[in-house]
Amino acid sequence: MELRYLDTFLVLADNKTFTEAADKLYISQPSLTKRIQKMEYNLGVVLFERNTRNVQLNYYGQIYLAYAIKIRDLESACDQKMKEITTTQNGITVGAIPSINEYHISDLLTAFMKTTGITCALKTATSGKLELMLKEHQCDFAFIKEVSGDESLKVLPYFKDILVAVLPKQHPLTNRKSIEISELVKEKFLLEPINSRPYNLCVKLCKKAVFTPNITYTDSHIENITSLVEKGMGISLLMRQLTADSPIVAVPIRPHIQAHIDLCYDASEALNNEKVAFLNYFSKNKYQFNDKTV
């Protein structure tokens, strides 16, 4: 069966009139009628109940619709996979948490490409999404914060960071060397997105200190959070590296909370020459870009 006839069937089933379906397909009504009739002839059954006003799927049409949708979705998935393969041919795809500049991931990838001539396609996402992307082969490697412990992933240490209280310069606690979480009980919290790993960590720490944080704002853009902190709209709990270039004060919290950013890949994945080259480059050169403690 020709796939264009499948599209014809799906459009007619959705629009329920030959006039609208023909307009959507940019063909004449007689051409549309001929296509549907040819489909029905090849299948040996009538798919539509017709009247002067519209068409409706009959019993056979309903059965055929379910399979037609599956075929269309498979075709779409196949096209997407072919595009991914074509895009990453002679190169690799690297996933990373959004803070690629703060953790010098972009510097590392740029240096790798200049040194080896191997191209890197970069995709940013949350840590949880990145783990899923590795399993679904949407990327070859991923820089992930606080890997979940999935044994199917190979984990290579890259960067260590600590959690800090982010305060406006005029805040009374800015002169402290460290701050207990319990001292923040009356603060307004500006945090990363709800249900993200950083958000959940902050809520968990506050509840351990026997209070529920007053969260007044969430955002995936760290610069928005630090800007609001600077203006006195509240405080935040962020990784220290994310605040390095911000006009605010970052004070370590107690208990001491450390986070790890690791390079991960699917342990069962076959490594081609480009992937081996990236792993070798990472192992030999990561100390130029990380905090030199891992």
Q: Which domains does the chain have, with CATH numbers?
A: 3-87 (1.10.10.10), 88-159+260-288 (3.40.190.10), 161-258 (3.40.190.10)
pLDDT tens, position by position, for the chain (294 residues)? 566 688 889 999 999 999 999 888 888 888 889 999 999 998 999 999 998 889 999 999 999 999 999 998 888 888 777 665 555 556 999 999 988 988 999 999 999 999 999 999 999 998 989 999 999 999 999 999 989 877 889 999 999 999 999 999 999 999 999 999 999 999 999 999 998 889 999 999 999 999 999 999 999 888 899 999 999 999 999 999 998 877 899 999 998 999 999 999 999 888 999 999 999 999 999 988 876 555
Q: Is it true that the peptide bond before 255 is cis, omega within 30 degrees of 0?
A: yes
Distance CA 194, CA 47 (A): 48
DSSP secondary structure string for all residues of 169-222 = TT-TTTT-S-EEGGGGTTSEEEESSTTSHHHHHHHHHHHHTT---EEEEE-S-H
DSSP3 helix / strand / coil % (the chain, rounded to 5): 45, 25, 30
Q: What is the pLDDT of residue 197?
A: 86
Q: 203: which residues sit within 8 A by CB, 6+ positions away? A: 212, 213, 215
Q: Which helix (H) or strand (E) holds 282?
A: helix 273-285
Sign of the four-CA dihedral 171, 172, 176, 179: negative
pLDDT of residue 80: 73
The pLDDT value recorded for residue 291 is 60
R_g over Cα of the chain: 27
Q: What is the pLDDT of residue 288?
A: 86
pTM for the structure as a whole = 0.64
The string over 75-102, giving b where at least 16 C-beta atoms fall within 10 Å of a residue's C-beta and e elsewhere, is eeeeeeeeeeeeebeebbbbbbbebbeb
Quick one: pLDDT at residue 89?
56
The whole-number pLDDT of residue 212 equals 96
* Structure-token pair, residue 103: 């953790």
Q: Determine the Cα–Cα distance for residues 55 and 45; give it in Å rounded to an integer.
A: 15
